[in-house]
Structure 1
Amino acid sequence: MKLQNFKRKAFFWIDKLQITRKERTSFSLLLLILCLLLISSLFIEQKLNYQQEEYDEILELFEERTQLAEREKAAIAQKYNPDFTVNNAGNPDTETAVEQKSATALTEMTDSPSEVSETKPAIININTAGSDELQTLNGIGPAYAGRIIEYREANGGFKTIEELINVKGIGEKRLEAIRPFVTLDP
């Protein structure tokens, strides 16, 4: 009696929702597949089977790549911020930060980071200096020296030191770094 009652109510709802026979069959199949997948996932144990040697090899590879990434990070930090030393972990060490570049020991930020100048640059007249002289300035490499000379020739010389900002690539920081070492006087 209860089964017949359930069937009547089910058919009543199916008729009311206007579900076709194909839709009922498709829904039943999808429900059956879902149930089978759920049951199978409960009984199938998924386990990663690594041998100890493979695990050690993977861990060693991870450590090597981590050290390589730290060295690359330190090289980039040193290239773009040579005022800081780098500790063994590849992080800038603020406690042992190198003091601001002084007139007695200036490092040269050139287009190739391997070139380092340990001599004190002389005061250079930017209206008469050649490329080699300009490259002795902190932060001025061959490319910047060429741009300075091009700007100087195109504009009839520099009238003020601040005009160096008009040279492509020279910003306020670089200008402040070289300002004490440049002059306009002959």
Structure 2
Amino acid sequence: MNPLEKFSKKFGFTATETNVVFFILFACVIAVTLNIIKDKKNEKAFLEFNYKIEDSLFNAASGDPGMADSTGNLQEKKIASQPELLDFTKEKFSGKISKINSSSLKKINLNKAGAAELNRLPGFGPKSVAAIIEYRSKKGGFKSINELLNIKGIGIKKLDKIRNLITLD
């Protein structure tokens, strides 16, 4: 059994289908080989092209002063510029800071804070805040910060993020 017959049986092709597959494969190999040979011939032309000279001649022909002189030599183009300074002082900053961070001076008291104040905690939205207030009213307040773990949606990672932002007294 020759290799073509083995291929035909393995993939369930007829003899004609096998011949077509091998013809297409052979044509692709020849096309790739011809492209490689063609690229090898033209490779030298790409390596010899000097972009600086051609670009400077184009700029000189287009009448762009300051880029190239009549001989094609590049000249430095001077641009007058002034550095732009950005002012991020508190007086100029118009955005509001809605969430508190660890550098804030006043900690939030879990037993006394309202919804607006609790909502400022990072990672806490309306659902978490409502759950905290509901838990607080049912239990008569928090006795430990770790009690927050009893609230659905608050895990150890979330608690660790806010631990230094909250207090019970």
Fold similarity call, TM over 0.5: no
| Normalised TM-score (structure 1) | 0.40
| Normalised TM-score (structure 2) | 0.44
Between 1 and 2, higher relative CO (CA 8 Å, sep ≥ 6) is seen in 2
The structure with the greater share of residues assigned to helix is 1
